[in-house]
Homo-oligomer: A and B are copies of this chain.
Amino acid sequence: MVVGGDAGGGLRGPGSAVADTVAPVNANTSTWSPAPTALLTDHYELTMLQAALRDGTALRRSVFEVFSRRLSNGRRYGIVAGTGRFLEGLAQFRFHGERLEFLERTGVVDATTAQWLADFRFSGQIQGYAEGDAWFPNSPILRVDGTFAEACMLETYILSVLNYDSAVASAASRMTSAAGERPCLEMGSRRAHDEAAVAAARAAVIAGFTGTSNLEAGYRYGVKTIGTAAHSFTLLHNDEQSAFRSQLEAQGLGTTLLVDTYDVDAAVRKAVELGGPELGAVRLDSGDLVAQAGRVRDLLDSLGNTKTRITVTSDLDEYAIASLAAAPVDAYGVGTRLVTGSGVPTSSMVYKLVARENSAGELEPVAKKAAGKGSVGGRKTALRRRDAHGVATHEIVGVDTVPVDDGDDRPLMETFVRDGELVDGWTGPAAVERARQRHAATMAELPRAASRLSEGEAVIPTVLVS
């Protein structure tokens, strides 16, 4: 598979093929790994650790769970993303060098705790929902079994990764659902923090986007990258004609020409004149896209360019995409609204201690009672109940019990880390491709009402059993 240079959906780029939209994740030879992650956490995780080390409770066996109490903004489902990124970062969650010195020098921890941190290596179990799967209120999205010390310290880092990546994937899934068979392209890097942009590209591809403009995401995760030219390229040249000619010569006839720098109709005529019938696509980035797309399609057809595609890229979200369903548009480029979660810029996932060893050495459920923020104690396991046609009907969450599969159900808890060791297949480019397939399968399994964009209830109810 070739990573092409075509913002028009990857179907016409030089060297690309239709298959690109089906498998936008490539095998990858990158040796990239994240920078040290252990200080991407809150100060209080370490002050709690220190107090617990002193009073002897630090090594109590504990169970922490990631879940959310609600789907924000009346969404029908959420999509899990970020687990692979977290697992990649977990390998770098170590305390040494300047960072450890910083903690001791500034008094965050004392010498005893610093020594403990220097020797720290996560040795517990991590299970949870596969990336790309759907989540609902109270789904046990990730579960960490270990000592209080090791499980507590991961809180902030786990939530940072899952809350952002899942926010983007959840929005992206609504967009690809609204787009139907038309490809969606991720172009939001400039409207997200520079590193968040890479995570957003990864999450978007998991949720069905067919490519991203973000090169670092291509490098790290093997996802298909796309792009041709901006308005500045046209403005750089003496006239639009020179810019189009240069782009066609450098990128081939399959490229996408941006036609709204000056006058759209005139630009389309120039594009066809220079590119001929094989011109790949034109891009519209402003104005009333429904009206413009219709006019440009008519013009292209009247000039004989019936196969030249139309890509639109101005302030799109799932609603705008849905409103363009009847317009002659061939691909959607989505930016700002995607990387900011389309109104939900962060997920509402929390990480809570749900059980811990008591003085007698037994695991005991625990829960806080705080107003509006209470939680359900006990270790959770989940499956998705499905009817005889394979359609999801309930999210079944067992509390201190494993719910029984009635024959058509799908167990949801995968094992990511066993005794501190990463289980193969959940990190790197392979994990992105696996998550993309999981997302597609999950969407096929959810009831049709999942694709409703209007506000409402979760598309399936969560049932807690014990």
Instruction: Name A's B-contacting residues (CB within 8 A).
Output: 2-5, 7, 14-15, 26, 29-32, 35, 37, 39-48, 50-52, 54-55, 57, 60, 62, 64, 89, 98-99, 102-103, 106-108, 148, 152, 155-157, 159-161, 163-165, 187, 189-199, 213-216, 218-219, 225-238, 242, 246-247, 249-251, 260-263, 285-288, 314, 336, 339-341, 345-346, 351-353, 356, 358-359, 366-373
CB of A232 to closest CB in B, whole Å: 4
Residues of B within 8 A of A7 (CB): 44
Contact B197 A195 (CB under 8 A): no
Contact B356 A43 (CB under 8 A): no
Contact B47 A227 (CB under 8 A): yes
In the A-B complex, the 8 residue pairs with the smallest Cβ-Cβ separation, listed nearest first, are A43-B227, A44-B227, A51-B250, A195-B195, A3-B106, A193-B196, A159-B190, A287-B371
Contact B199 A236 (CB under 8 A): no
Contact B236 A57 (CB under 8 A): yes
CB of A247 to closest CB in B, whole Å: 5
Contact B219 A98 (CB under 8 A): yes
Q: A30-B98, A39-B216, A190-B42 are in contact. Are A286 and B372 (CB under 8 A)?
A: yes
Please report the C-alpha to C-alpha distance between residue A164 and residue B351 in the assembled complex, in whole angstroms. 25
Choose among B189, B286, B341, B369 the residue that contacts A373 (Cβ–Cβ < 8 A).
Answer: B286
Highest count of chain B CB atoms <10 Å: which of A52, A226, A228, A370 = A370
Contact B193 A54 (CB under 8 A): no
Residues of B within 8 A of A341 (CB): 345
Contact A232 B64 (CB under 8 A): yes
Total copies of this chain within the assembly = 2
Contact B193 A225 (CB under 8 A): no
Q: List 27 contacting pairs A-B, 8 Å CB cutoff, sorted by A.
A: A3-B108, A26-B106, A30-B102, A40-B214, A41-B215, A42-B227, A44-B230, A47-B227, A47-B229, A47-B251, A48-B232, A50-B250, A51-B251, A55-B246, A99-B219, A159-B191, A160-B193, A161-B194, A164-B192, A195-B196, A236-B366, A262-B369, A285-B373, A286-B371, A287-B372, A314-B373, A341-B345
Contact B163 A191 (CB under 8 A): yes
Contact B48 A230 (CB under 8 A): yes
Residues of B within 8 A of A287 (CB): 370-372
Please report the C-alpha to C-alpha distance between residue A356 and residue B40 in the assembled complex, in whole angstroms. 42
Contact B340 A152 (CB under 8 A): no
Residues of B within 8 A of A99 (CB): 219
Please report the C-alpha to C-alpha distance between residue A352 and residue B226 in the assembled complex, in whole angstroms. 21
Please report the C-alpha to C-alpha distance between residue A72 and residue B178 in the assembled complex, in whole angstroms. 27
Choose among B48, B107, B233 the residue that contacts A3 (Cβ–Cβ < 8 A).
Answer: B107
Residues of B within 8 A of A351 (CB): 190
Q: A51-B247, A225-B108, A287-B370 are in contact. Are A352 and B232 (CB under 8 A)?
A: yes
Choose among B4, B37, B102 the residue that contacts A219 (Cβ–Cβ < 8 A).
Answer: B102
Residues of B within 8 A of A50 (CB): 250
Contact A370 B260 (CB under 8 A): yes
Please report the C-alpha to C-alpha distance between residue A314 and residue B4 in the assembled complex, in whole angstroms. 47
